[in-house]
Amino acid sequence: MKNRGSVSLLRSRRAKLMAGAVVLGAAGLLSAQTIVPSQMALADAVRVDAQAPTDFSQVVRTVSPAVVSVQVKQAVEPRMMNFGGKDNSPEFFKGLPEGHPFERFFREFGGRGGEEGQNQRRSPRQYGMSQGSGFFISADGYVVTNQHVIDKGTEFTVIGQDAKEYDATLIGADKRTDLALLKVEGDEDFTYVEFAKEAPQVGEWTVAIGNPFGLGGSVTAGIVSARGRDIGAGPYDDFIQIDAPVNRGNSGGPAFNMHGEVIGVNAAIFSPSGGNVGIAFAIPASTAQDVIMELKDDGTVVRGWLGVQIQNVTDDIAESLGLDEARGAIVAEAQEDSPAEKAGLRSGDTILAVDGASVKGPRELSKIIATYDPDTKIDVTIWRDGEEQDVSVTLGRLQEKEQAAAASQTEKTKTSLDELGLVLMSREEAGLEGKGVFIAEIDPDSAAAEKGLNPGDAILEVAGMKVENPADVIKALEKAEKDGRKAVLFRVEANETTRFVALPMNLA
């Protein structure tokens, strides 16, 4: 009886151990380590039950009739053909005897023996053809495309999916956003599409339809890869990045969401080879819709103008200004006779907000100002002398401008600031006109070189103090060091453009 009881007890204990092992094994926790009860309460991983479309045929079938190819006839500047006498004749023809057929040819066309007035002949006017994509946005024939597609065009032809051709008229174009509007005249109602009212989410499906390499009606699909891309194309960059294959000829074509709405106008690709590598950029529907409506009304886009050269506020610039964080856009220069200058804005001011809307950086400021009409009065919040101030500005009208620049330097008396890697001269000593201190040399391993300063640049201000000679620079640096600044702000001019550069204070 005693043995039977012991056996039963062992069997009971063995059964309980086996049951525990089964439970632990089922939970995936069977290991040689001690099990801590709190480890059993881990949160479940996130998961999504959304289903991807089996195909895109319904979207493509619905929107394709609204997508067109755009052919543009462009005038090519005629070249001057010069057969101007012996000096301009090919070497092969210079020794030809009198009466030779080729010699007579050159004489007849203003060559050897010809009159001075016959030395140049204008070649016949030539034309080139370019092509892109576009799409109808109204039943009465308005077509959206890119500005670079129709640039320098003299005649425009829109070709539908059924290969039917229509003559088109250019209503207007906006170079800054790379958008253009054409108008097709016809007795029929055209199938058209609408711009999406909401911005797409990263990861959404998108379908691109266009005319790559002249292959009209081509369809590709992908996802929205990113939003808010700045690719350096212009002051209002805010591109949607997609990975749907886009190639040359897709420019001006639409990128659709799964509702058949246009989320963007395909405008550019990133490609070392010139072909698709899965990185394309589309102008957002929100931007396109606003610009196109203005083009439709007036044939042009009118924007407000503040008149400042601005740049990003970096961490070291923020520290040198006493800002709590890097934000806003610092004014490198208020342009002469601009609304900014008339309102009292000056270099060194940091624009933090416009009418209460925060300014994160130069791109945001440009976009905000562009939304206002000329002659609009706005309140600009700036950071000046360690505190916020409000300045009232009446905007002007933005005009296209081109700038030219030149630089020179002369060797004379120099002052070295070894700690900053700078060798300086007064502009007078350098034989130059203008204001500021001339940078004669820069140590390539210095912080100044890392910040992009170059020989030939001019230092206009140091820590808010105007400088005219190297001694002024040293005086300003000493004051900044005395004030406990870890970085000092230089206002620098290069190629007629001014900017701010913050250099670390490490003077002995």
pLDDT-derived band at 466 (thresholds 50, 70, 90) equals confident
Cα–Cα distance between 442 and 423 in angstroms, integer?
6
> Does residue 456 have a pLDDT over 60?
yes
Q: Do 438 and 390 share a domain, yes or no?
A: no
Domain count, the chain: 4
pLDDT-derived band at 440 (thresholds 50, 70, 90) equals confident
* 4, amino acid identity: R
Cα–Cα distance between 411 and 60 in angstroms, integer?
68
Q: Do 308 and 294 share a domain, yes or no?
A: no
pLDDT at 149: 94
**Residue that the structure tokens 């005693």 belong to:** 2
pLDDT at 465: 85
Q: Do 373 and 452 share a domain, yes or no?
A: no
Q: Do 293 and 321 share a domain, yes or no?
A: no
> The tokens of 219 are what?
């369809």
Mean pLDDT for 152-180 is: 93
pLDDT-derived band at 48 (thresholds 50, 70, 90) equals confident
Q: Which residues are catalytic?
A: 148, 178, 251
> Does residue 47 have a pLDDT over 80?
no
Cα–Cα distance between 212 and 220 in angstroms, integer?
11
Mean pLDDT for 291-320 is: 91
pLDDT at 124: 52
pLDDT-derived band at 455 (thresholds 50, 70, 90) equals confident
Please indicate, yes or no, if residue 171 is contained in any of the structural domains. Answer: no
pLDDT at 22: 44
* 233, amino acid identity: A
> Does residue 257 have a pLDDT over 90?
yes
Please indicate, yes or no, if residue 404 is contained in any of the structural domains. Answer: no
| Per-residue pLDDT reduced to its tens digit, 415-433 | 777 778 788 887 766 666 6
Mean pLDDT for 187-195 is: 94
Cα–Cα distance between 208 and 279 in angstroms, integer?
13
Cα–Cα distances in angstroms (integers) from residue 23 to residues 13, 32, 36, 345, in the given order:
16, 15, 15, 74
- Do residues 437 and 467 lie in contact, with contact meaning Cβ atoms separated by under 8 Å? yes
Of 185-194, 339-348, 412-421, 447-456, which range is least confident?
412-421
Cα–Cα distance between 262 and 285 in angstroms, integer?
7
By CB atoms closer than 10 A (0-12, 13-18, 19+), residue 481 is middle
Please indicate, yes or no, if residue 309 is contained in any of the structural domains. Answer: yes
Q: Count CA within 13 A, CB hemisphere, residue 217.
A: 10
Please indicate, yes or no, if residue 197 is contained in any of the structural domains. Answer: no
Q: Do 340 and 283 share a domain, yes or no?
A: no
- Do residues 448 and 492 lie in contact, with contact meaning Cβ atoms separated by under 8 Å? no
Mean pLDDT for 453-466 is: 86
pLDDT at 37: 55
Please indicate, yes or no, if residue 270 is contained in any of the structural domains. Answer: yes
Cα–Cα distances in angstroms (integers) from residue 140 to residues 35, 145, 182, 187, 191, in the given order:
73, 16, 11, 9, 9
Q: Do 340 and 286 share a domain, yes or no?
A: no
| Per-residue pLDDT reduced to its tens digit, 315-324 | 989 988 999 9
Among residues 298, 324, 353, which one ends one of the domains? 298
Kindly report each contact of residues 138-142 with a partner whose C-beta sits within 8 Å and lies 24 or more positions away, as own/partner.
138/190, 138/192, 139/189, 139/190, 139/191, 139/192, 140/189, 140/190, 141/166, 141/183, 141/184, 141/185, 141/186, 141/190, 142/171, 142/181, 142/182, 142/183, 142/184, 142/292, 142/296
Q: Do 291 and 330 share a domain, yes or no?
A: no
Q: Do 348 and 365 share a domain, yes or no?
A: yes
- Do residues 462 and 487 lie in contact, with contact meaning Cβ atoms separated by under 8 Å? no
Mean pLDDT for 168-183 is: 95
Among residues 363, 397, 431, which one ends one of the domains? 397
* Full residue range of the structural domain in which residue 351 is found: 304-397
| Per-residue pLDDT reduced to its tens digit, 388-404 | 999 999 999 987 543 22
Please indicate, yes or no, if residue 89 is contained in any of the structural domains. Answer: yes
- Do residues 94 and 86 lie in contact, with contact meaning Cβ atoms separated by under 8 Å? yes
136 vs 98 pLDDT, higher one: 136
pLDDT at 377: 95
Question: Most confidently modeled of 14-28, 372-386, 437-451, 462-476?
Answer: 372-386
Q: Count CA within 13 A, CB hemisphere, residue 300.
A: 6
Question: Which segments of 274-374 does DSSP mark as H helices, in order?
Answer: 285-298, 315-321, 339-343, 362-370
- Residues 82-121, buried b or exposed e (16+ Cβ, 10 A)? ebbeeeebeeebeebeeeeeebeebeeebbbebeeeebee
> Does residue 407 have a pLDDT over 60?
no
Percentage of the chain surpassing pLDDT 70?
Answer: 76
CATH of the domain at 426: 2.30.42.10
Please indicate, yes or no, if residue 37 is contained in any of the structural domains. Answer: no
417 vs 295 pLDDT, higher one: 295
Q: Do 356 and 309 share a domain, yes or no?
A: yes
Cα–Cα distance between 481 and 486 in angstroms, integer?
8
Q: Do 422 and 366 share a domain, yes or no?
A: no
Q: Do 284 and 336 share a domain, yes or no?
A: no
Question: Most confidently modeled of 22-26, 103-107, 354-358?
Answer: 354-358
**Residue that the structure tokens 């206009």 belong to:** 460
Please indicate, yes or no, if residue 262 is contained in any of the structural domains. Answer: yes
Q: Do 375 and 343 share a domain, yes or no?
A: yes
> The tokens of 169 are what?
């008229």
* 247, amino acid identity: N
Among residues 298, 318, 347, which one ends one of the domains? 298
CATH of the domain at 223: 2.40.10.10
